[in-house]
Every structure is written in structure tokens, then in C-alpha cells.
Amino acid sequence: MAGKRFTVRGRSIRWREGRYRQRGRRRLQARPLKPRPVLDTLVAIGVSLFAGGLVFCMALLLLGAHKVPLHFGYGAILGGVIGCSFVFGPRDRPGLMVVGGLVVVWVLGTAVLYASRDQIVLRPHEHRSAAAKSAPRKAD
């Protein structure tokens, strides 16, 4: 004899009777989050300042390596970051607050760097080859 048709071995471990009937009845609804404007504002300010600092470091690297003006590199890179965060980021309130903070840092940072562009001067390092070090110097 082959035995009963519905034995434990014949069923999947996850199978339960009546599972498919009750599938649509009970759905877990996510509760909406409570608005936290102070925390959202502090996070937006912190993220904006941190991103502005990182972009400033990248702009310094562009200035040193390729002689791109600091205000132009800063404005272009941070403008791209703002565009990408607006397109690909969340459209909820905290996400838009971060984008707004980035716009403020972008405008103020670019304006300050443009206004102080004459005072920003990188002097080249005085690296010399070994042959130049051993050669006698000419008196001025």
C-alpha cells in the first residue's frame, strides 16, 4: 500500500491549510512616521556641511592638479551633487530639506570662493632632481 495521500513527507514544510484563503485579509499597514522638524533640520544642516566640505576638498584637488579655479570646480561639482540628489533622492520632507541645505551651501560657498579668488594662491613645491641638488648654485 502506498499510504495516505497527504502525509507529512508529501507536503512542503511551509505549507499550511487555508493559507491562500487568508492571504488578502490581513495586511500589515506601516504607520506614518511622526514629523520631527528639529531633528530633520539638524540632520539636513549636518549633511549639507559635510557634503560641502568633501566637495571643497575635491575642488582643491582640481585646483592643484589641473589649475581649475576653485570657485568653478566647487560650484560645478556641488551643482552636480545637488542635481543627482534631487533626481535620485527621496522626495519626502527630509530629502527636500537636505537638497535645500545643499543649495544654500552651494550658493554661499561659491560666492565666498569667488570673492576671495585673488587671495587663494598655491605655491609650487621646490622639488629638485638629484642632479640639480649636486650641481653648484650660481650666486645672484
Return the pLDDT at 116: 95
Are 54 and 100 in contact, with CB atoms under 8 Å apart?
A: no
91 CB contacts (<8 Å, ≥6 apart)? none
Whether 61 is covered by a domain: the verdict is: yes
85 is a domain residue: yes
If one counts every other C-beta atom within 10 angstroms of the C-beta of residue 57, the result is: 11
Structure confidence at residue 118 (pLDDT)? 87
Q: How many domains does the chain have?
A: 1
- Residue ranges in the chain modelled with pLDDT below 50: none
Contacts of 40 (CB under 8 A, 6+ apart): 93, 94, 97
For residue 87, the enclosing domain spans 45-118
What pLDDT does 33 receive?
79
Whether the model clears a pTM of 0.85, i.e. scores above it, the answer is no
Going through the chain in order, the beta strands assigned E by DSSP cover: none
- Give the pLDDT confidence score for residue 4 in this predicted structure: 55
Tell whether 40 is covered by a domain: no
Any domain includes 86: yes
Indicate whether 139 belongs to any domain: no
